[in-house]
Chains A and B, each alone.
Chain A
Amino acid sequence: NSKVIQTPRYLVKGQGQKAKMRCIPEKGHPVVFWYQQNKNNEFKFLINFQNQEVLQQIDMTEKRFSAECPSNSPCSLEIQSSEAGDSALYLCASSLDNNERLFFGHGTKLSVL
């Protein structure tokens, strides 16, 4: 069973609405990743953190997407104005180190109608 907890499991939003999902990484893991997985199983890296600091993020996330990993609170990924193309499975993963095993949550399946 995954020890990375993602909520909610399913999220349905209308176009233009805000969508927010949360992730509690595995205890003791300082590195957190967010990936978007589309219906064709393709992964797109969005952003990663180490101890609340952003390590890397793609250009897309700098516009409508925002994410944070505050200390003592769940990490979150927020889409300010959802678009149909944002419909996907959003996966959070945590790791002990940047280049080690990723532990994934079950994901949040976002449907933008």
Chain B
Amino acid sequence: SQLAEENSWALSVHEGESVTVNCSYKTSITALQWYRQKSGKGPAQLILIRSNEREKRNGRLRATLDTSSQSSSLSITATRCEDTAVYFCATDTNTGYQNFYFGKGTSLTVIP
């Protein structure tokens, strides 16, 4: 079973609009990361948010973390065509094992 999971398979927005991708997870974590993977490339980290943080920003990106509901969101404002990618959330495990669990990803298409 997935320890981290995005809540949507695919989203599409028009350029300039805002979009939010949601993620839920099942274990106690020390941090949650958001990654973006463009076609033909490896994932690239966007934001790392620790369990004692509630919000983190990186330019047009904003991530939130709610440890009580074990959920996170990634919002992108003023979307651009180059934001088209698959977005993953990834959690570590607060068990001493050094590993990251990735969700299945949400495919975002930004329409010009």
Interface residues of A (CB under 8 A from B): 2, 4, 6, 31, 33, 35, 40-43, 45, 48, 50, 55-56, 91, 93, 98-107
Whether A102 lies near B45 (C-beta < 8 A) is: yes
**How far, in angstroms, from A4 to B43 measured CA to CA in the complex?**
12
CA distance A10 to B42 in the complex (A): 14
Kindly provide the distance from the CB of B90 to the nearest chain A CB, expressed in whole angstroms: 8
Check B99 against A56 for contact (C-beta < 8 Å).
Answer: yes
Q: Which residues of A contact B102 (CB under 8 A)?
A: 35, 42-43
Q: Which residues of B contact A42 (CB under 8 A)?
A: 102, 104
A48 and B42 form a contact (CB under 8 A)? no
Contact with A along B18-49 (1 / 0, CB 8 A): 00000000000011010101001111110010
Which B residues between 55 and 112 are near A, CB-CB below 8 angstroms? 86, 88, 90, 92, 97-102, 104-105
Knowing A101-B33, A106-B41 touch, does A41 contact B99 (C-beta < 8 A)? Answer: no
**Further 10 A-B residue pairs, CB within 8 A, beyond A2-B44, A33-B99, A41-B88:** A41-B104, A42-B102, A48-B99, A99-B31, A101-B33, A101-B45, A102-B35, A106-B40, A106-B42, A107-B41
- Per the bound structure, the CA–CA distance linking A78 and B85 in Å amounts to 29
Nearest chain A CB to B85 CB, angstrom units: 11
CB < 8 Å neighbour of A107 from B42, B88, B104 = B42
